[in-house]
Structure 1
């Protein structure tokens, strides 16, 4: 018999990260809890109130900036076209799906945010840019903290190794709107189950339920849209970096209440031209190499190709090490 939703919530422990710094009281305990959740589920729910993602910035983003963004005409939104990754810009107008999404790449660069606003509003939108910039700054800081905890928790303690990993990363922000489902969509699934191709995705929900993650027993756990929590899910490239220790999280969006909702997703990717490989500290006799080094952008294209979609395990098909194959990092 599947465990109850309450039991599932006990499994995905909400970890309090407020006021924590490496080497300070509480860090080790939080690090171990974050790592355990990521290893078990490919995701972690963290408590972040008063660390830069509080009510004020959320209200500015979800209460004003995003409604203003998605109220624009379709022809304006379609100007958001990025070719760096598959589905890199505007997604929408899909038959049978009440879903629209827009993406700002390299969102830590204020110029990219300004350019995005300039595409959509004739005179720009300084208030929008300020809100997105502030939200992004704090979300990136949180993602770096969580990733550091995971790598430390798995045994990567050398600062140069942590710095080397962090220095090759870049961030994008995807803002998503989920509308009322068509009547024929009885399950109220507005985004089908999938695994992200990136390192991590930091997901901030707003007021309305939607995010569901699959647990080990195959059941689905609905992550409550609590105002003081953020969810970080592992992508396929983190699977490579951790040598298979952290598997990508299978997740979907389902809204049984059939209400409109917004969410913001901070995606973390390696920079163009970089190579993703298992960290050498995580490869040993007890943990032989699972994945060969790969180009992250070639993998992204492969995941969405016919071969990738039908492979059953796209990252394994793309760069997995066969049991009898070579195992050099």
Structure 2
């Protein structure tokens, strides 16, 4: 993965989309959309949805003002944006020779105090417009993320009480990203193939394409940055709690246009560092346990280790805590 040969096989086929606008639970339309969402998530670990969470006005405020304003700040200023916990990629990243992207995360920005604290590190006088834009994005996309996760779990047969606990047990992070010109013109790769270590991630792209998802064991499909659409991606945590019923989506960023591009991600993960384990409803004779319980921080440390990096394009979760059968890991 990530080689020139792989890049040449990227498919520009039309990706199926699920329209979630105006749905009411316990209706036929909800059931039909839930079936489509679950089918896509179970097959590939992602689903592209049509939704008005990011309307034209908010999209312009986000990509036309907030992100350009943020990334135009001096490097030393951006470094002050804060680190909400220790470890790689948990604060501002950028201007690193080996990487072509800049990114800045905000923890739980749907809560007003958090985004104001973040902005206060960058603009001592405050920046109400920036705060309002990021908080609005977080609130609307967080609601959508919970809806898609609920549909997926319902479609898999998880009980309501388990779904309610699953949704309430997660924190969220918004990460703003600027991708520069790809360093390798032959591959045009800006970010190599990987799965996310989170539960889920919703990605909003702006104008310039680049996101690609892997399907059918190796085929790459480009996800166009169409207004009114967002892509919902399952991560390693979701693969573990669903006992492998939802695979972690392997994806990458490849920008053959050579243009800079913005994207904003809303990621969700289990709060704190509890033991993650498969939901009881999703383990049975037909679906034996695939992953042993593990703590997220221990798994994340493995992902960034030398051994874990070798598994980046494959299944690092299986390498870390896969259930061994007949002397091998399933």
Query: Is the TM-score greater than 0.5?
Result: yes
The partner residue of 2:26 within 23, 28, 34 is 23
Distance 2:295 2:110 in 1: 22
How does 1:1-329 map onto structure 2 within 5 Å?
5=11, 8-9=13-14, 12-49=15-52, 52-80=53-81, 81-156=83-158, 158-182=159-183, 184-311=184-311, 312-323=314-325
Residue pair 1:85, 1:297 contacting (<8 A) in 2 also: no
Partners of 1:290 and 1:283 in 2: CA distance: 9
In the alignment, the residues of structure 2 paired with residue 110 and residue 252 of structure 1 have an alpha-carbon distance, to the nearest angstrom, of 32
More moved, 185-194 vs 241-250? 185-194
- For the aligned residue pairs, the C-alpha RMSD in angstroms reads 1.8
Instruction: Work out whether residues 211 and 222 of structure 1, in 8 Å CA contact, stay in contact via their aligned partners in 2.
Output: yes
Maintained 8 Å contact 2:10/2:222? no
- Local SS of the residue matching 2:28: coil
Whether contact under 8 Å (1:113, 1:132) holds in the other structure is yes
Q: Distance in 2 between matches of 1:313 and 1:160?
A: 30
Q: Secondary structure at the match of 1:252?
A: strand
What secondary structure is seen at the aligned counterpart in 1 of 2:325? coil
Q: Which runs of 5+ in 2 are unaligned?
A: 1-7
3-state DSSP class of the match of 1:112?
helix
Query: Is the CA contact (8 Å cut-off) linking 1:275 and 1:296 kept in structure 2?
Result: yes
**Alpha carbons of structure 1 residues 224 and 64: separation in structure 2 relative to 1, 3 Å:** same
Contact kept, 8 Å, 1:86 with 1:300, in 2: the verdict is no
1:255 to partner: Cα distance: 1.0
Q: Distance in 2 between matches of 1:212 and 1:4?
A: 8
Deviations 1:198-231 (A, max 9, x none): 0011000011101001111412111010001000
Q: Please give the alpha-carbon distance, in whole angstroms, between the structure 1 residues aligned to 2:275 and 2:23.
A: 31
Kindly state the Cα deviation for residue 324 of structure 1 after the two structures are TM-superposed.
5.1
Conserved 8 A contact 1:192-1:253: yes
